[in-house]
A and B are shown apart, each in its own frame.
Chain A
Amino acid sequence: MSCCAPGEARLEFEAPTVAREEILLASRDLGDGTRQTDLSVPGVHCGACIAAVEKTLSALDGVTGARVNLSTRRVAVRWRPLDGNVPDMVGALARIGYPAHLQSFEADRTDPQLSRLIKALALSGFCAMNIMLLSVSVWFGADGGTRQAFHIISAVLALPAVIYAGGIFYASAWNALRHGRTNMDVPIAIGVTLAFGLSLYDTAQGAEHAYFDAATTLLFFLLIGRTLDHLMREKARSAVVGLARLVPAGATLVEKDGTRRYVALPAIESGALLFVAPGDRIPVDGVVETGRSDLDRSLVSGESAPDTASPGSGVQAGLMNLTGPLTIRATARAEDSFLTEMVRLMEAAEGGRARYRRLADRAAALYSPVVHTIAALSFAGWFLATRDWHQSVTVAISVLIITCPCALGLAVPIVQVMAARRLFERGVMVKDGAGLERLAEIDAVLFDKTGVLTLGRPRVANAGEIARSAWPIAVALAAGSRHPAARAIAAAGGAGGADVVFDEVREIPGLGVEGRARGKLYRLGRSAWALGGDAGEGSPEGGSVVVLAGDGARLATFAIEDRVRPGASEMMHRLRQAGLPVEILSGDRAVAVQGLASQLEIDRAAGDLLPSDKLARIRELADAGRKVLMVGDGLNDAPALAAAYVSMAPATAADIGRNAADFVFLHEDLSAVSTAFDIARKAKVLVRENFTLAVAYNALAVPVAVGGLVTPLVAAVAMSLSSVLVVANAMRLHSGRLRPGSAARPDEGRRAPVQPQTATVAGR
């Protein structure tokens, strides 16, 4: 490890091995033979890391340049294939202690929407400031030719702002109106257009007042809110996209003549023969042709104990091959695989969320008719009273401007941005502001078991009872295996196995590991096999007991169990305090589910569930009017995550699950769930306060405006003041007290002193 790689870098799973061919598939051609590959390197923290990563990569043959982006924790590598060879970038980074994984380049394209927003913000800011300067001199008594000249300059400045910056609001308002709805942008579009049009007319008439300043300042303020909102979602999205992809982009195809070739997933036809090395995931659904191995199903079905695969057994896409090489015959194309079946279920399931209307839009649905009616009424009233249509239109416009949904437009996004930032610091990514609104409303919580309540990484439960003499043997045997039980034993034993030297270590998939040392045959694995065919006592709980035997005599019995995530019971306590009923929905065996449920004091727990069963349970609750938070990680949870009112997934979840969830939490600690809930509720309170502030301001200002007493100066000051008030109120979320959750982890690496580059590279 380098000086500062630990910390956030250690996401709680291993990055999958990346085939060099996969790098080639995921790279993009820059022309003249150079290719660019984007890698996500979560361990980059400081200047020294940048130097180490860039130097290491640049030193590789074929690499022409490497550039780290510290904000997104990514590195762009430019390289040329040398004799068709791809430089081993991932391997080189792993050797200096920075695990890296491939980034699909679609994810890295710069976001056109964001650059449009920023350019609009810059333009409207420039126009608004200059128009405001001119307006101030008009308010302070410029008259005659000067005033007229200033109005004309203002009109020229306002035109591009209204067309370019206002275009964003016009497009959105038109889109809503076309579908028979209203949103926040409708009153904005009408207000801006009317103000601009009347000001043009007034300028042409040489009148005393023009409202160009109001129209452009309104656009500027609203764009600030909108850009912040977009930035927040973009940040969370790129953080989520930056997590390792768990499904490979390609697979090793075995040709008829036995040669192997790496091909992209969509190119795999049904009937193709594929090679799956230990440590790889099964690319498509298929049937095992040759080889034996153990398969980790935890991400696919939620079962915690690995399963044995032998010739003839069917395998699903997404399973992790643990112990032995397998050759499988594909029975489905990639797009017809299990994974795709889940996507179809998900698409069918999305509904509760699509029906949800954002708070701001619901407010606008109430707000815009009221405002438009008041404006229309005051126009009619003034026209009847004075018969002066120009005066009446002026009053109507000042009503529209003073009630400008500026504060309303900022009320929601600013709070959500603050809440998302707060959560971001605690390792929770908010993918959509609407998710925060929905999270505050939940009245039931459903959990998946494996990988969510538990870590999905087993450990030795009875380490204290194992004979000291047995440890070195067990650790030495377990060291070479990828089986989770073996890893647990190796981890529990530490570095104790160094002094035992085995002549030959063989891993027998489905059974265990065996090796010879000093003429004795040692076996570590299933008890029946390890004890030499003495099948008298079958292991009571499948794979959860591992026996170490020497020449058939039992030396030790390891009880392997999955670990509950830290913070789980604290979170349960806090959810119960909030009065939320909790349930477990798991695809794992019912016995294991019940055990965990009683440990965490959860009343309702169901095991052996299929993905459709989980979906059915969520539908049942939704039909009963419940708003459900689903926390899940596996492929089998993805439809449920999509169907739930709001959903969360850990960073270790399958890609599709992470994409379906509204929130993704990065740390092991489960208290992230209750923290997110607390912050969402707090945000809801603040949004309410902001709405109240905005409405109170309007209630004060509207009568004055209807009375025709508002000058442009007063309107502009009042408008800005209400916006500032709303923003200041939202800031309280950042400084406000929230109990110091243990999920908060200081970002220790970031402040690490920068060391000389050479020392960093050498002193890892």
Chain B
Amino acid sequence: MNYLVVLIPVALLLGLAGLAAFLWSLRSGQYEDLDGAAERVLLDDDDKPYR
């Protein structure tokens, strides 16, 4: 029982971290141009998507 008190919150926190990461990536425009992202890896410029 005692180990559950630690493990369940840890599991949930990790899940929440994943959810937060996804929402952040969504908000910062990383899914706006998936085809372009695949090609841009070959370009030299160091750039960020427009918001």
Instruction: State the A residues within 8 Å of B (CB).
Output: 36, 46-47, 50-51, 54, 65, 67-72, 76, 78, 115, 118-119, 122-123, 126, 129-130, 133, 145-146, 149, 153, 157, 754, 757
Which residues in B have their C-beta under 8 angstroms from that of A72?
33
* Given known A50-B36, A133-B11, contact A67–B19 (CB-CB < 8 A): no
Verify A46–B39 contact, CB threshold 8 A: yes
Which residues in A have their C-beta under 8 angstroms from that of B26?
115, 118-119, 122
Taking A76-B50, A153-B8 as known contacts, 18 extra A-B pairs with beta carbons closer than 8 A to each other, sorted by chain A number, are: A36-B50, A47-B42, A50-B36, A50-B39, A50-B43, A51-B43, A51-B45, A68-B33, A70-B39, A71-B33, A71-B34, A78-B50, A119-B26, A126-B15, A126-B18, A130-B12, A130-B15, A145-B1
B16 to chain A, nearest CB (A): 7
Q: What's the dominant secondary structure at chain A's contact region?
A: helix
Verify A122–B19 contact, CB threshold 8 A: yes
Per-residue 0/1 for B12-26: is the Cβ within 8 Å of any A Cβ (1 yes, 0 no)? Answer: 100110110011001
B14 to chain A, nearest CB (A): 10
Verify B43–A68 contact, CB threshold 8 A: no
* Most chain B CB inside 10 Å of its own CB: which residue of A67, A146, A754: A67
Which residues in A have their C-beta under 8 angstroms from that of B6?
none
Which residues in A have their C-beta under 8 angstroms from that of B4?
146, 149
Complex Cα distance A46/B8, Å? Answer: 46
Which residues in B have their C-beta under 8 angstroms from that of A757?
43-44
Verify B36–A126 contact, CB threshold 8 A: no
Complex Cα distance A487/B8, Å? Answer: 74
Which residues in B have their C-beta under 8 angstroms from that of A115?
26
Q: What's the dominant secondary structure at chain B's contact region?
A: helix
* Most chain A CB inside 10 Å of its own CB: which residue of B18, B22, B34, B36: B36
Which residues in B have their C-beta under 8 angstroms from that of A36?
50
Complex Cα distance A141/B33, Å? Answer: 47
Complex Cα distance A78/B39, Å? Answer: 22
Give B31's nearest chain A residue, CB to CB: A118
A537 to chain B, nearest CB (A): 58
Verify B50–A67 contact, CB threshold 8 A: yes
Verify A47–B11 contact, CB threshold 8 A: no
Which residues in B have their C-beta under 8 angstroms from that of A119?
23, 26
Instruction: Identify the 10 closest CB pairs spanning chains A and B, nearest first.
Output: A70-B36, A47-B39, A70-B35, A69-B33, A71-B35, A126-B19, A67-B50, A47-B42, A71-B33, A76-B50
**Residues of B in contact with A, size category:** 20 to 34
Which residues in A have their C-beta under 8 angstroms from that of B15?
126, 129-130
Which residues in A have their C-beta under 8 angstroms from that of B42?
47, 754
Which residues in A have their C-beta under 8 angstroms from that of B11?
130, 133
Which residues in A have their C-beta under 8 angstroms from that of B49?
67
Which residues in A have their C-beta under 8 angstroms from that of B40?
47, 50
Which residues in B have their C-beta under 8 angstroms from that of A118?
26
Which residues in B have their C-beta under 8 angstroms from that of A133?
11
B4 to chain A, nearest CB (A): 7
- 15 intermolecular pairs with C-beta atoms under 8 Å apart: A47-B39, A47-B40, A50-B36, A51-B43, A70-B39, A71-B35, A72-B33, A119-B23, A122-B26, A126-B16, A126-B18, A130-B11, A146-B1, A146-B4, A153-B8
Complex Cα distance A384/B15, Å? Answer: 45
Verify A71–B36 contact, CB threshold 8 A: yes
Give B48's nearest chain A residue, CB to CB: A67
Which residues in B have their C-beta under 8 angstroms from that of A146?
1, 4
Complex Cα distance A384/B26, Å? Answer: 53
Complex Cα distance A67/B32, Å? Answer: 12
Which residues in B have their C-beta under 8 angstroms from that of A69?
32-33, 36
Complex Cα distance A54/B34, Å? Answer: 17
* Given known A122-B19, A130-B11, contact A67–B34 (CB-CB < 8 A): no
Verify B35–A122 contact, CB threshold 8 A: no
Give B27's nearest chain A residue, CB to CB: A115
At the interface, yes or no: B47 with Cβ under 8 Å from chain A? yes
Which residues in A have their C-beta under 8 angstroms from that of B32?
69, 71
A486 to chain B, nearest CB (A): 40
Complex Cα distance A743/B39, Å? Answer: 27
Complex Cα distance A42/B26, Å? Answer: 25
A134 to chain B, nearest CB (A): 8
Give A121's nearest chain B residue, CB to CB: B22
Which residues in B have their C-beta under 8 angstroms from that of A71?
32-36
* Most chain A CB inside 10 Å of its own CB: which residue of B1, B16, B43: B43
Contact of B36 among A68, A130, A145, A157 (CB under 8 A): A68
A159 to chain B, nearest CB (A): 14
A191 to chain B, nearest CB (A): 25
Which residues in B have their C-beta under 8 angstroms from that of A122?
19, 22-23, 26
* Most chain A CB inside 10 Å of its own CB: which residue of B1, B8, B15, B35: B35
Complex Cα distance A119/B22, Å? Answer: 9
A236 to chain B, nearest CB (A): 16
Which residues in A have their C-beta under 8 angstroms from that of B33?
68-72
Complex Cα distance A71/B33, Å? Answer: 5
Which residues in B have their C-beta under 8 angstroms from that of A126?
15-16, 18-19
Contact of A47 among B19, B23, B34, B43 (CB under 8 A): B43
